Amino acid sequence: MTAPLLAVERMTIGRPGAPPVVADMSFRIGAGERLALVGESGSGKTMSALAVIGLLPAGFRVTGGAIRFDGVAVDTAAPAMRARRGKDVAIVFQDPMTSLNPVMRIGAQIVEAIEAHDPGIDRAAARRRAIELLDAVRIAKAAERVDAYPHEFSGGMRQRVTIAIALANRPRLLIADEPTTALDVTTQTQILALMDELCRAHGTGLLLITHDLGLAQSCCDRICVLYGGRVMETGPIARVLARPDHPYTAALLRSVPPGDRDVEWLEPIAGEPPRIQADGRRCRFAGRCAHRFERCLSHDPVPVATGPDAMAACHLLQPSAGRGP
Partner 1 sequence: MSPPDAPPLELSQLSLRYPGSGRDATPVVRAVSLRCDAGRTLGLVGESGSGKTTLARAIFGMVPAASGTVRVFGREWTDLDAAARKRMRRRVQMVFQDPYASLNPMMTIGEAIAEPLVVHGLGDRAARAARVGELLGLVGLPADYASRYPAQLSGGQRQRVAIARALSPGPELLVCDEPVSALDVSVQAQILNLLKSLQQRLGLAMLFISHDLAVIRFIAHAIAVIQEGRIVEQGPRAQVLDAPRHPYTRALFAAGLTRSIGAAAAGAARIPDDPGLGRTT
Q: Which residues would be at the binding site for partner 1 (CB under 8 A)? A: 40-41, 138-140, 152-157, 160, 184-190, 192-193, 196-197, 211-215, 217-219, 238, 241-242, 251-253, 255-260, 262-263, 265-270, 272-273, 275, 288
Rounded CA separation 56/167 (Å): 22
Q: How far is the CB of 68 from partner 1 (least distance, A)?
A: 30
- Helix, strand or coil, per DSSP, at residue 211: coil
Q: How far is the CB of 185 from partner 1 (least distance, A)?
A: 5
Residue type, 222: R
Rounded CA separation 113/118 (Å): 9
Rounded CA separation 301/284 (Å): 9
Write down the H helix ranges in 13-145.
Answer: 45-53, 79-88, 96-99, 106-117, 123-136, 142-145
- Nearest Cα neighbor of 117 from 86, 82, 93 is 86
Cβ atoms of 69 and 5 closer than 8 Å: yes
**Residue (1 or 265) nearer to partner 1, CB:** 265
**Residue (73 or 193) nearer to partner 1, CB:** 193
Residue type, 118: D
**Residue (196 or 300) nearer to partner 1, CB:** 196
DSSP 8-state assignment for residue 165 = H
Q: How far is the CB of 122 from partner 1 (least distance, A)?
A: 31
**Residue (111 or 137) nearer to partner 1, CB:** 137
Q: How far is the CB of 242 from partner 1 (least distance, A)?
A: 7
Q: How far is the CB of 205 from partner 1 (least distance, A)?
A: 18
Rounded CA separation 99/101 (Å): 7
**Residue (14 or 274) nearer to partner 1, CB:** 274
Q: How far is the CB of 186 from partner 1 (least distance, A)?
A: 5
**Residue (64 or 273) nearer to partner 1, CB:** 273
Rounded CA separation 291/314 (Å): 10
